[in-house]
Amino acid sequence: MVIALSDFDVAAIRKQFPILQQEVNGHPLVYLDNAATTQKPESVIDAIANYYRYDNSNVHRGAHALSDRATEKFEGARVQLAQFINAPAKEQLLWTRGTTEGINVVAASWGRANLSAGDRVLVSAMEHHSNIVPWQMVAEATGAIVEPIAVTAEGVIDLSALREQLDERVKMVALGHVSNALGSINPVADIIPLAHAAGAKVLIDAAQSIAHWPLDVQALDCDFLVFSGHKMFGPTGIGALYGKRELLEAMPPYQGGGEMIESVSFAGTIYNQLPYKFEAGTPNIAGAIGLAAAVSFLQSFDREAADRHEQALLRSAEQQLQALGGFPLVGTSREKTAVMSFTCDFAHPQDVGMILDQQGVAVRTGNHCAQPIMDQFGIPGTVRASFSLYNNEDDVAKLMAALAKAKMFLA
């Protein structure tokens, strides 16, 4: 049942997360590191535990009840995830270990088969390292070139600069839907048709957007989309790669082993059909089942209401931070998820993070695996407070109190 806007009860949602009911360093936990990983509701924890309690078996190959039950839940999770992003067919939803592996699959498999010397891959200047390094690796092997898409001082992709970069040599545009370092929401609905008009394919890293709003891969018309379970209330070590069928069918396997084959002999091997061609070895069965439970959790309430709640927390936090003084914001796009990155006029971000931790406030500090954009801004890193649907105004107040104490100690 979907909870109506008027019934969006943050206190009730918080009760579903056991980890939030604890103290850290003698203070109630204030968890504001959601861009790194979200916490897990009881329903996800139970789904994983119950698989191991009652259904633990390998999938697809067994001739017994446990294997049948495990296979049904595992493949049912694939169907649920495919429907969640509106993929045309479940065969186009491939299990991965997460966003990073999904990008590596595309870079290694599609990239090595389709890129050659002089071809160009465009990635935004604010990409996570996982959407830069795999392309550099395949570029080194093929002679292709990886180039950054310019980002403005506000942390927004420069669309005019992108238009000038796009030509027939650009074969791939790979970018995050949302910047993990800044929270900026990239205009992917505008960028995808621009790239396609130039003949390029598009990969969307949805790691930072999948937990916040519904995604429709058919409406976006992206060629590939990747995301991680642990950033959407699911377990670690599981994620998914969506691809257009004709691209996936043409791509060579990423790894060899069991499950990804139809037949093997020393005369040669015939590969399996989608999606199994890309799923060598025993998969993360419990992870897939847990991720399906996370999708059910996300679909149990009004997601637009949750997004409005998160946006209200962000606006409140930014206003209070500016009033406090000494903590300049980094990333001031008008379109953002609930991510607040900032520096400190009088101390290193790491020092601020340590003082916050002493008061039970969990934030992330550093370059957030986005070193190029930090270099562009001329800073070593930021403090990043990222909000989720289970955070509340009390969390914001405790963050501000902790920052005031850090300012008192360090200024």
Task: Write phi, then psi, for 203 (nearest 5 degrees).
Answer: -110, 130
Give residue 230's pLDDT.
Answer: 98
Give per-residue pLDDT as tens, 351-390: 999 999 999 999 999 999 999 999 999 999 999 999 999 9
Three-state secondary-structure class, residue 369: coil
Query: Residue 16: pLDDT above 50?
Result: yes
How many Å apart are CA 122 and CA 145, to the nearest integer?
Answer: 9
Task: Write phi, then psi, for 242 (nearest 5 degrees).
Answer: -100, 140
How many Å apart are CA 369 and CA 36, to the nearest integer?
Answer: 11
Three-state secondary-structure class, residue 342: strand
Give residue 167's pLDDT.
Answer: 97
CA-based R_g, the chain, Å: 22
How many Å apart are CA 167 and CA 296, to the nearest integer?
Answer: 42
Residue 4's pLDDT band (cuts 50, 70, 90) = very low
How many Å apart are CA 95 and CA 295, to the nearest integer?
Answer: 15
Task: For 234-350, list the strands marked E by DSSP.
Answer: 239-243, 261-265, 268-271, 339-342
Residue 61's pLDDT band (cuts 50, 70, 90) = confident
Give per-residue pLDDT as tens, 186-197: 999 999 999 999
How many Å apart are CA 205 and CA 181, to the nearest integer?
Answer: 14
pTM: 0.95
Give per-residue pLDDT as tens, 84-140: 999 999 999 999 999 999 999 999 999 999 999 999 999 999 999 999 999 999 999
Domain 46-298 has CATH 2.60.40.10: no
For residue 326, give both structure tokens.
Answer: 């000494």
User: Mean pLDDT of all residues in the chain?
Assistant: 95
Residue 40's pLDDT band (cuts 50, 70, 90) = very high
Domain 5-31+302-410 has CATH 3.90.650.10: no
Give residue 265's pLDDT.
Answer: 87
Give per-residue pLDDT as tens, 291-323: 999 999 999 999 999 999 999 999 999 999 999
How many Å apart are CA 190 and CA 213, to the nearest integer?
Answer: 18
Query: Residue 2: pLDDT above 60?
Result: no
Domain boundaries defined on the chain: 5-31+302-410, 46-298
Catalytic residues: 369
